[in-house]
Amino acid sequence: MSVVAIVTGGAGSIGRATGRRLAQDGFTVVLADVNAPAETIAGCVFVRLDVRSAESIDELFRFALTLGTLQAVVNTHGILHETPVGTFDEDEIASIIAINLTGTARMAHAAGVHLADDGALIFVSSVTASIGRAHGGYAYLATKGGIESLTRAFAVALGARGVRVNCVAPGFVSVPMQGSGAESREKRGGAEALLPFTPLNRLVTPVEVADAIGFLCSEQASGIAGVVLPVDAGQRAF
């Protein structure tokens, strides 16, 4: 029987790279997103998903379980709107929380029900969860900090079943987030303006983030649970 992985945010750069990596590792991958990926990836099938909807999540898991044993659930979905200190747009803040944090919690709950006992549940946070100098997006930062807390809570709750729950925290990625993320980066001087904050003097790539996720989903990480793994070219150390 096939081993199956669900990857949310499957249309994004990290989601696509993760789908490709897990397919290469032998998973049948369900890429889930509100939008279809720009390209077809071998070993991956696309399912439309709205993480704000419990019904949409239930349909996703029902489909994934028809393909084989659900061995991994990876949550890479997320949105970024500018919420600079000194402003308070309730609609934008509510939207960020609904997708980034509440949607991730919904996915984690469903994963806890349906994952195989030796499966892996992976969250994606951000280096910005632990720094205050990332201007203009305090709501996004707060949700990423919340995701790191979810990691620890679900690692404890699901550990008795052998489910390993971990988190990857990317630094600034060479491909910016779609929409507001790309606009925010350009407004602040583009990728070049970020390099002084990275000890390796470069941005990380989606493939590097996907490789870390692939490792955490593998038997090589069988003794790792409840960790937040930075993939940030040294930003967290800066």
Q: Which residues are the active-site residues?
A: 140
- All residues at 6 or more sequence positions from 155 whose CB lies less than 8 Å from its CB, including other chains: 164, 165, 166, 225, 226
Q: Are 97 and 143 in contact (CB under 8 A)?
A: yes
The DSSP annotation for 46-66 comes to EEE--TT-HHHHHHHHHHHHH
Alpha-carbon distance of 96 to 101, in angstroms, equals: 8
Closest CA to 79 of 106, 65, 97, 61: 97
